[in-house]
Chains A and B, each alone.
Chain A
């Protein structure tokens, strides 16, 4: 298994600002992902965080809005840029182990006012 921590756990931000969310895994993993869970909704994949290269974004998500870094095999960040109230969501980081199980962090609850 993998234990994943995220910081911050929650934040309230003003419109137009940016927030960077950190994700730390307790072991080296090949694959890391970022998901969004809007209030009362299911999870939607934002992007795959690739170590040492640009992230792979899903349809509807762009790098300028959600820049992602992954400097090593245990750490990744997601920035939510130029925020609007529509960005209010829970953002979850996940990591896939060598046994192809995907584990999730506790999430970052973001409220944009």
Chain B
């Protein structure tokens, strides 16, 4: 069955520190991959996506993600975290274009001053 796993339920980092959020997928072929952020009481905002091509993709708010086929991973990174980055982050995958998404369980990011 298709699935998306985010191994870390909670992560706490200090402001200014680097961040990496993990995402692993299980699909028959390379899926379409997305990262979303959800601030408290808000909807989901698309940070970035990967469909094909360059395996390092840049997104909004200074985020980037790297697709690694050999590890079935699509980890999200940011070199320097800001307090406003505290939120829930969801990795999602779809089998192809024009299809619904399967979401990971989410990672809650807390930022220490």
The interface of chain A, by Cβ under 8 A from chain B, is: 4, 30-31, 33, 41-45, 48, 58, 92, 96, 100-107
Contacts and interface: CB of A to CB of B under 8 A. Distances in A.
A107 B104 contact: no
Contact of B46 (A30, A102, A106): A102
A93 to B, nearest CB: 9
Nearest to A109: B41
B63 to A, nearest CB: 15
Interface stretch (B14-22, B77-85, B95-103): B95-103
Contacts of A105: 43
Interface residues of B, number: 22
Contacts of A107: 42-43
B46 A103 contact: yes
B90 A102 contact: no
A31 B42 CA distance: 22
Given A43-B90, A101-B34, 15 more contacts: A31-B98, A42-B90, A42-B106, A43-B92, A43-B101, A45-B101, A45-B102, A92-B43, A100-B49, A100-B97, A100-B98, A101-B46, A104-B36, A104-B44, A107-B42
A3 B11 CA distance: 30
B100 A45 contact: yes
Interface in B10-67: 32, 34, 36, 42-46, 49, 51
A100 B51 CA distance: 9
Contact of A30 (B51, B90, B98): B98
